[in-house]
Amino acid sequence: MSRGVTRLDRGVYALAGVTVAGAAAVGGAKEGAGPLGPRFDLTIEDDLHGTTSFEAAEASLALQAVDQSLKKSGLARDAVDAVLGGDLLNQLYSTNFSARQHQIPLYGLFSACATFTEAVGLGAMLVAAGGVERALAMAASHHMAAERQFRYPIELGYQRALTASWTATAAGAVMLRPEMGEQASDNLGADRAVEGGVRVTAVTTGRVIDFGGHDPMDMGTAMAPAAADTLERHRSATGREWGDYDQILTGDLGVVGSRILVDLVRDGDRFRDRHEDCGRMLYSPDQDVHNGGSGAGCAAAVFAVWAYPRIQSGELRRVLMVATGALFSPTSYQQGESIPAIAHAVEFECIGRGA
């Protein structure tokens, strides 16, 4: 199978010859109690996870997601060319400190809660372009660490607004490699493409969109315009219609942002029939998360435990995933800045099951 990247439009690329070799996710106790909890590879029992800080616990989650993805892909750490990933904390705390442990060459990325699809998109393009044979894309977040960095001291016990999202304690990772034929090349060892595999077929890089929101307790409203922009650019450049997808996944607009998104995209009623949001999927209504889940680990985990197995089995033939991120910081908020947002899209297809 030949590899390559074709420019369809500014920031939109068609890819050939890239597959997902494995995916894994690790979650916290609240995530483990949600509807997707039984599908996590590992869940932790407490927020500190045997460490001395929430930040160190998040780094541990990131490392475990990386190692679980390697295990499910049948690869050792030294068989991977690069890790691409990020988190929400200052200077990519958990990504960098987990990389101190795994010692795989690292590309640290930040697109807030859109980091996962940024990592998958860039990793897939590196593999498609040649040279990089195996790239691992990951993202992580931790509720307690994010809350005390972005909002209030967690000891305050403040009342959350109904539009507020719940930052997920979760990490997800996927292994990307070239699509192979019946015989693998010598440098790829035992890697093989199998019927029911998952192919990455297109990537759209997001633009920073700012509709002037200022409320850090309402990320869904801030991010919906960025999701709409990326979706429309992807559809225009690829020639797809909403009905061409079995599932369109966003993350993490939640209840509020998903409603706004339907109003912003063309053919909103048809879009609604194919759309679901990772923030709405991770928790059940009785878990009191208000708008839904968020955090860099939310979309990564939902893809790993929900979307990837369904594409692999052929239940979903083509999926478009658009993770969304609010690009604010304590500094920008305290200086009175608005909250811009970004969304990156990755298109996946099932191999060999009627796709």
What was the pLDDT predicted at 352?
77
Provide mean pLDDT across the span 227-245: 98
Q: Containing H/E element for 9?
A: strand 4-9
Q: 282 and 296 in contact (C-beta within 8 Å)? A: no
CA 34 to chain centre: 18
**pLDDT at residue 173 tops 90:** yes
What was the pLDDT predicted at 147?
82
- Rg of the Cα atoms in the chain: 19
Fold for 19-178, please state it: Peroxisomal Thiolase; Chain A, domain 1 (3.40.47)
| Domain 199-350 homologous superfamily, CATH | Stage V sporulation protein AD (3.40.47.40)
What was the pLDDT predicted at 143?
95
Mean pLDDT score of the chain, rounded to an integer?
Answer: 93
**pLDDT at residue 276 tops 70:** yes
**pLDDT at residue 257 tops 50:** yes
Domain boundaries, given as residue ranges, for the chain = 19-178, 199-350
Listed range (39-43, 50-54, 187-191, 316-320) with the worst mean pLDDT: 187-191
Provide mean pLDDT across the span 154-167: 82
Given pLDDT bands bounded at 50, 70 and 90, which one contains residue 77? very high
Given pLDDT bands bounded at 50, 70 and 90, which one contains residue 156? low
Q: Could you tell me which residues are beta bridge partners of residue 343?
A: 324
Q: 199-350: same fold as 19-178?
A: yes
Longest Cα separation, the chain: 60
What was the pLDDT predicted at 2?
84
d(C-alpha 133, C-alpha 314), whole Å:
25
Residue 8, both tokens: 């369809």
Given pLDDT bands bounded at 50, 70 and 90, which one contains residue 167? very high
What was the pLDDT predicted at 263?
98
Per DSSP, the residues of 281-329 read HSS-GGG--TT-EESHHHHHHHIIIIIHHHHHHTSSSEEEEEEEEE---
d(C-alpha 80, C-alpha 137), whole Å:
11
Would you tell me how many other CB atoms lie within 10 Å of the CB of residue 285?
Answer: 10
Listed range (3-12, 126-135, 166-175, 326-335) with the worst mean pLDDT: 326-335
Given pLDDT bands bounded at 50, 70 and 90, which one contains residue 115? very high
What was the pLDDT predicted at 203?
98
The answer for residues whose C-beta is within 8 angstroms of residue 51's C-beta and 6 or more apart is 57, 59, 60
Given pLDDT bands bounded at 50, 70 and 90, which one contains residue 184? very low
Provide mean pLDDT across the span 306-311: 98
